[in-house]
Amino acid sequence: MSENIQSVRGMNDCLPDAADAWQGFEAIVRDWLRRYGYREMRTPILEHTGLFKRAIGEVTDIVEKEMYTFVDELNGESLTLRPEGTASSVRAVIQHNLLYDGGKRLWYSGPMFRHERPQKGRYRQFHQVGVEALGFAGPDVDAELIVMCADLWRELGITPTLQINTLGDHGARQRHRHKLIAYYEAHRDVLDADAQRRLHSNPLRILDSKNPAMQALNAAAPRLLDELEDEALNHFDALQALLRANGIAFEINPRLVRGLDYYNRTVFEWVTDQLGAQGTVCAGGRYDGLVEQLGGKPAPAAGFAMGIERLLALVETRGKPIAPAVPDAYIVHAGDAADAFAWQAAATLRGAGLAVVMHCGGGSFKSQMKKADASRARYAVIIGDDEAAARQVSLKPLRGTAEQTRVELALAIEYLKKA
Ligand code: ATP
Ligand code: MG
């Protein structure tokens, strides 16, 4: 006998109970984005490998060891399953000249793929909602991105905390880089293998290390904050003032550098201590150089991405699940005339916008009522030949203590629409 085929490691099925929570979350997110004037953009899941190498940086965790890259055997092209959404968004914005008439507020959502070690909160296919504000240079849009996150957390009933930092501009990063290299060279014996390798190619990334053995060394490393030029400092100050004015609490974390190369100036993360090691639920910042780096006319940009699996896990810890969608009615029917009328009743109720499950497969009223209960529907709509002859239905509430009533279809709609 052959073995059953299972899903790919680190890639999860989303079964109906979980999908209820996802749908509830997605509905909240869509409305939240609409209220902030962001518009959706959908890009392909596959891109040319070169896009991610150029956008994310060759010496990063993602590009060095996490990408699902393969050669399309039909034409020899190297393709990659997208590991994140910003590179594709910027590629599409340049390709279609979306910035020709000014800044754009965009969002995307969907699966991302990274070949990481699967564990709670870390998967090989995971899902992000991401927001990109392209063409805006000021700290006001950085503040908007953060304020809107805070708004969403309120709505979801969760309380991650905000860490911010600034990476400054090119000159400051160069000076900081030289100091970092000198510092790590002086402590070569403490560096792990990743850090040794990155010492000269990308020393900033060493600060992003998750290796506990590196934490003390990183904590005492030269700070980028000490190299910043006035313009970047003013930008950072203005952002902080806007956050305070909007009542957003934050902590400045000078070690926050983010795992992707394209960031400059503002970076931020929303973190929680309720999910174990995978505590970052949302991360983002400014990436003013990326549009030009990918071949577009220079344009400032900022954005963030949140991990849906981690956010939903955090929502679960608050104890109250996002309200699942339940059917309004389950139609129970037995008898020839009743069976025929049940189809009409279902069509009428659905036409009025109600969610209706019609019993299929026959059986006694008793056995059908068991199915009605199990369906989680709010009401059983019972149709026997008596009801069919009178073109009426009996409504039996499946929750609470209200009495069963027999009514015309039109009145049944009113009943079912009430809470
Ligand atoms: P981490 O430091 O946890 O690896 P990251 O810096 O690689 O995160 P980003 O590229 O900034 O993550 O992605 C934004 C968000 O997407 C993260 O904050 C997290 O919530 C989520 N995320 C990233 N990688 C994964 C993954 N493998 N599985 C689940 N969620 C993820
Ligand atoms: Mg990562």
pLDDT at position 360 over 90: yes
Instruction: Tell which residue, 267, 321, 262, 304, has the closest CA to residue 128.
Output: 304
Q: Are the beta carbons of 60 and 260 closer than 8 angstroms?
A: yes
Instruction: Answer yes or no: is 346 within a domain.
Output: yes
pLDDT at position 305 over 80: yes
The structural domain count of the chain equals 2
pLDDT at position 260 over 80: no
pLDDT at position 323 over 80: no
Cβ of 84 closer than 6 Å to ligand 1, yes or no, is yes
User: Can you give the pLDDT at residue 81?
Assistant: 98
Helix %, strand %, coil % for the chain, to 5?
40, 20, 35
User: Can you give the pLDDT at residue 259?
Assistant: 67
In this prediction, residues 352-380 reach a mean pLDDT of: 96
336 lies in the same domain as 310: no
pLDDT band at 321 (very low <50, low <70, confident <90, very high): confident
Instruction: Answer yes or no: is 194 within a domain.
Output: no
354 lies in the same domain as 395: yes
Instruction: Give pLDDT tens digits for 278-304.
Output: 899 999 999 999 999 999 999 999 999
**Arithmetic mean of pLDDT over the chain:** 94
> Cα of 83 to ligand 2 centre, how many Å?
10
Q: How far apart are CA 419 and CA 416, in angstroms?
A: 8
pLDDT at position 411 over 70: yes
User: Can you give the pLDDT at residue 210?
Assistant: 84
H-run or E-run covering 175: helix 170-186
> Cα of 307 to ligand 1 centre, how many Å?
6
User: Can you give the pLDDT at residue 298?
Assistant: 96
Instruction: Answer yes or no: is 186 within a domain.
Output: no
Host domain of residue 358 = 329-418
Q: Which two tokens stand for residue 183?
A: 């510092």
User: Can you give the pLDDT at residue 322?
Assistant: 81
pLDDT at position 68 over 70: yes
User: Can you give the pLDDT at residue 96?
Assistant: 98
Residue where a domain stops, chosen among 293, 317, 341: 317
165 lies in the same domain as 256: yes
Q: Which atom of ligand 1 is nearest the CA belonging to 279?
A: 3
52 lies in the same domain as 143: yes
In this prediction, residues 367-389 reach a mean pLDDT of: 96
User: Given ligand 1 and candidates 65, 209, 278, which is best to mutate, with the most ligand atoms within 8 Å of its CB?
Assistant: 278
User: Given ligand 1 and candidates 310, 311, 314, which is best to mutate, with the most ligand atoms within 8 Å of its CB?
Assistant: 310
Cβ of 142 closer than 6 Å to ligand 1, yes or no, is no
pLDDT at position 2 over 90: no
Judged by its nearest atom, the ligand closest to the C-alpha of residue 84 is 1
Instruction: Answer yes or no: is 3 within a domain.
Output: no
Q: Are the beta carbons of 356 and 326 closer than 8 angstroms?
A: no
Q: How far apart are CA 62 and CA 268, in angstroms?
A: 19
pLDDT band at 254 (very low <50, low <70, confident <90, very high): confident
Scored b (16 or more CB within 10 A) or e, 77-87 reads eebbbbbbbbb
129 lies in the same domain as 250: yes
Q: Which two tokens stand for residue 102?
A: 């000014």
> Cα of 126 to ligand 1 centre, how many Å?
9
User: Can you give the pLDDT at residue 1?
Assistant: 59
* Ordered DSSP codes for 248-316: ---EE-TT---SSTT-EEEEEEEE-SSSTT--EEEEEEE-TTHHHHTTSPP--EEEEEEEHHHHHHHHH
Judged by its nearest atom, the ligand closest to the C-alpha of residue 257 is 1
Residue where a domain stops, chosen among 317, 352, 367: 317
Q: How far apart are CA 395 and CA 405, in angstroms?
A: 5
Instruction: Answer yes or no: is 200 within a domain.
Output: no
CATH code where residue 111 lies: 3.30.930.10
Instruction: Give pLDDT tens digits for 191-244.
Output: 999 899 889 888 888 988 888 989 999 989 998 888 999 999 999 999 999 999
Q: How many residues in total does the chain contain?
A: 419
274 lies in the same domain as 404: no
Cβ of 126 closer than 6 Å to ligand 1, yes or no, is yes
264 lies in the same domain as 377: no
